[in-house]
């Protein structure tokens, strides 16, 4: 068994645990684990199947590393990469995640998500302003409808807007 399959099975077990354990909660408390857990389970099963049967995944073969290098529409190349390039790519992706974490702590969930998606799409993917704003707006509106309107749950407001700094 390949190491990546073992890792993907581990990643599958995490949301499976949350979905399974959510059935012991009261009905209103199980919404969030189910709304998040079931799509994650489905997507993780899809990742495992794509890894197991790679010939069927040709049209969806896009790596996040391609996005980090600004090749948003190019399929992942089978070319060998040097370890120095891999380290650089890991630093780039880690830096983007750190930026989102800082934005999230400072300004909260909705503005951080909006700003992060716009910046990522403009800088890394080199998309147009209109497309970046449309994708970002659509994502934030979807989150707002899902969490605020449907579940009546207030996401973190950010330290600059009166939210407590999350414990680290």
pLDDT in tens, 29-86: 788 888 888 999 999 898 888 888 776 655 555 554 455 555 555 444 445 556 667 7
For the beta carbon of residue 80, count every other beta carbon within 10 angstroms: 6
Task: Name which of 142, 141, 120 is nearest 131 in CA terms.
Answer: 120
Going by C-beta distance under 8 Å and a sequence separation of 6 or more, which residues neighbour residue 122? Answer: 129, 132
Question: pLDDT value at position 140?
Answer: 93
Query: What is the per-residue pLDDT across 110-123, written as a single tens digit (0 to 9) for each?
Result: 999 999 999 999 98
Among 22-26, 129-133, 161-165, the range with the most confident prediction by mean pLDDT is 129-133
Whether residue 113 contacts residue 135, with contact meaning beta carbons closer than 8 Å, is answered with: no
Whether residue 154 contacts residue 148, with contact meaning beta carbons closer than 8 Å, is answered with: yes
Question: pLDDT value at position 78?
Answer: 47
* Phi, psi angle pair for 25, to nearest 5°: -85, 165
pLDDT at residue 141 greater than cutoff 60: yes
Question: pLDDT value at position 115?
Answer: 94
Question: pLDDT value at position 151?
Answer: 80
Residue with tokens 């190491």: 3
Question: pLDDT value at position 133?
Answer: 92
In angstroms, what CA-CA distances link 45 with 9, 14, 22, 29, 107? 9, 12, 20, 25, 34
Residue with tokens 């969490």: 147
Q: Tell me how far apart the alpha carbons of residues 115 and 111 are, in angstroms, rounded to a whole number.
A: 6
pLDDT-derived band of residue 139, with 50, 70 and 90 as boundaries? very high
Alpha helices in 23-128 (DSSP H): 31-52, 64-68, 83-107, 109-123
């Amino acid at each position: 068994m390949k190491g990546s399959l073992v890792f993907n099975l581990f990643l599958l077990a995490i949301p499976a645990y949350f979905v399974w354990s959510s059935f012991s909660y009261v009905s209103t408390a199980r919404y969030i684990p189910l709304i998040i857990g079931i799509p994650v389970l489905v997507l993780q099963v899809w990742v495992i199947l794509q890894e197991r049967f790679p010939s069927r995944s040709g049209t969806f073969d896009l790596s996040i590393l391609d996005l980090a290098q600004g090749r948003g529409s190019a399929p992942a190349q089978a070319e060998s990469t040097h370890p120095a390039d891999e380290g650089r790519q890991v630093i780039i992706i880690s830096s983007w995640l750190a930026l989102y974490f800082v934005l999230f702590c400072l300004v909260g969930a909705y503005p951080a998500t909006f700003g992060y998606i716009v910046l990522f799409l403009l800088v890394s993917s080199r998309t147009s302003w209109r497309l970046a704003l449309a994708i970002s707006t659509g994502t934030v509106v979807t989150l707002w409808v899902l969490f605020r309107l449907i579940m009546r749950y207030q996401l973190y407001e950010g330290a600059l807007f009166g939210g407590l700094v999350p414990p680290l």
